[in-house]
Structure 1
Amino acid sequence: MVERRWHALWGEWILVSASRMARPFLPPKEKCPLCPGVLEIPEEYDLAVFENRFPGLSSAPDRPQPSPHPFYKTAPSHGVCEVVMYTSEHDTSLAEMPVDDIYRLMHVWVDRYKEISSRPEIECVYIFENKGEEVGVTLHHPHSQIYAFPFIPPRLQTELNNARESSKQGKCLFCSIVEAEKQDGRRILAETERFIAYLPYFARWSYEVHIAARHGTATMADFDDATSRELAQVLKLVICKFDNLFETSFPYMMVMHQLAEPDWHFHIEFYPPYRDKGKLKYVAGVESGAGNFVVDSYPEMRATQLQEIPPFQVEPVTIQMNMVERRS
């Protein structure tokens, strides 16, 4: 049973899914439901996509019970929840996958985006990965998720509103951010023809990294093969720098912001929970209650750390990559 309840104070929908309480919680490898032979996955695979067994949205939701008071609004939780398994190998991660494998994963994300976004009830296809117990994962097996909403989620709606306001002034908001980052230069990790990776001037997390499309690509539906391969390489670079930073499998939340809107640019945001080695950033009273992040360090300092991480070795590719080192 899934349903939506309207938050009258915040003006946004809350997704209610009581079945998620039954999710497996950090099972051992031999009982991992994403490994071959444990549940419905009979054999090894390279990539696989399944409907989420414990969804927050459903393609055929039940009609919710009437609200207890006319003031409160409720609605069916129409949508899609899918799980994208990167590999049948349990003990690996995106950082350990070859660029070619990440490139193939990009094609799966693109294909799923195109198919799901074509459904008339879907307003936003949201692809994300939660990695590490520090961010609350319940399964260690490498995977991402797709939530397709019948509305634009609040964070993306705010970004869209600001982009539209900027457009009214004759400026592209996303272009302005990239131009400002390039002019400053201190927070850039890498640049390619189509993408730029940087720690934003306004970072809320100590090691927050954004990967932004540079030429107005709004969604993955606009990707060609060269774009997918280029993004695969930049993803590999960023995630390997994370792992090399503290010489550990670095936890993060990776989210893809894409909307089929004329004022929009595709971008990825990483929210790593560490503020320093062995020190977690908690979303506590000010962040949760007031909605204002208090960040514990300057992004310029953290960018310098990540820039100094030695470049990793990748397969020979034709993309010209500008690996940014520390700048004075």
Structure 2
Amino acid sequence: MSKVLVTGGAGFIGSNLVDQLVQDGDEVIVVDDLSMGLASNIPSSPKVTFYEHSITDHGFMKDLLLKEQFDYIYLLAAIASVADSVARPYETHQINQEANVFILETIRQNKLPVKKVLFTSSAAVYGNNPELPKHEDSTIDPLTPYAIDKFATERFVIDYGKLYNISTVAVRFFNVYGPRQNPKSPYSGVLSLITQCFKNNQVFSLFGDGEQTRDFIFIQDVLSALHLIMTNNQAVHDVYNVATGKQSSLRTIITDYQKVVGQPLQVKTITARAGDIKHSYADIAKLSQLGFTPQYTLLNGLTDYWISVKEDFLGEQE
């Protein structure tokens, strides 16, 4: 049994990770200020301790790290909205970078015996670089405070690891989808917005021709990738794309999802947004070398996602 810290553990990816860690028999401590996540996402288990707290509180975080002596640390807490980061750049920076560097510094100064620290970055760091697929060593072109902080923190995490002999690793998430994705979030994935439209019989606004492509990865495949990276001793002081290595157009997704739900989606076409990236997908050779193979096709993932949404919907009506 390991003792694990998950910052941002009440969010979409974080809470699914906490579920998995609990299933694996780990003791989990979650720190989340609930600005994006929901307390109801956190499993009620004697193995889970939840602190509703901001990771920017350095005193609190230092005390927690010294007291608990974690085996593994997952750094997921972030202002995840790109628009939010543009509106509040310094506040974003404090959460998305400074708070994480402080955690590394606390580990360094106190020589804490952490087995591995994993930081979650984003495909946003590639920006408008047209090269496809995106390799980990592709040109970086961060266009927003969100992307700048994600890339800078990646480098801090990797280089702190190298300089001070701390086992660290970073991942770049592509388009993750699945249960508990928050459609109210301004950074919400397009799949959670489409799901919301199906659920509430609303019209989906499609920007452009629908031929834009993304690399969509189901949450369970993400959890498998994180487990591999966290437990493989070779995966250290490096960054990994977490994706499927396949691109799907929005039109294909809508067609597949209509099959899953069994009803047509009402679509309203709107002019394409300026600055939107047309195509994006990952090269996952590096992750594959660790033994990763995505298990979920888009159709399988959408089916499981829709089942979870219907279950939640029925629960709300009871």
Of structures 1 and 2, the larger Rg is shown by 1
TM-score (norm 2): 0.31
- Give the strand-richer structure, 1 or 2: 1
TM-score (norm 1): 0.31
